[in-house]
């Protein structure tokens, strides 16, 4: 029964990761790209927690990595939103194609 449940979690995290990669490759809006990066990180920490629960019962390493990834994604989101805000103040747009025209 646990293998069946574990396969569902792995399929779910693979789908989240694939959607995040598609968002990174196809979106032109900086906020959408930031959300896609968050999807990738979320799929990674769900995967770590799932593997820790089903395969390493006495070891808490997967949960520690999950907390570490959540901390990094919070910092990444804060910095990303601040950079997007500054870019919007400069260009009045959040289009990625306009980001290459910032050179001084």
Contact call for residues 44 and 69 (beta carbons, < 8 A): yes
Model pTM score: 0.78
How do residues 20-67 score in pLDDT, each as one tens digit? 999 999 988 888 999 999 999 889 888 888 877 777 777 777 778 888
> What per-residue string of b and e applies to 15-52 under the rule 16 or more CB within 10 Å gives b?
ebbeebeebbeeeeebeebbbbbbbbbbbbbbbbbbbb
Provide the domain count of the chain: 1
Q: Tokens in use for 74?
A: 């919070």
How do residues 8-30 score in pLDDT, each as one tens digit? 888 899 999 999 999 999 988 88
For residue 5, what pLDDT is reported? 61
Q: Tokens in use for 18?
A: 């694939």
CATH number of the domain that residue 95 is part of: 1.10.287.3510
Beta bridge partners of 29: 95
Distance (Å, whole) CA 59 – CA 28:
41
Range of the domain at 26: 2-102
């Amino acid at each position: 029964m646990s293998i069946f449940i574990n396969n569902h979690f792995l399929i779910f995290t693979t789908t989240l990761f694939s959607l995040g990669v598609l968002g990174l490759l196809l979106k032109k809006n900086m906020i959408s790209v930031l959300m896609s990066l968050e999807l990738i990180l979320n799929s990674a920490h769900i995967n770590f927690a799932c593997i820790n629960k089903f395969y390493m019962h006495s070891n808490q390493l997967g949960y520690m990595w999950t907390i570490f990834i959540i901390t990094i994604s919070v910092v990444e989101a804060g910095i990303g939103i601040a950079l997007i805000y500054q870019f919007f103040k400069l260009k009045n747009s959040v289009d990625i194609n306009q980001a290459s025209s910032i050179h001084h």
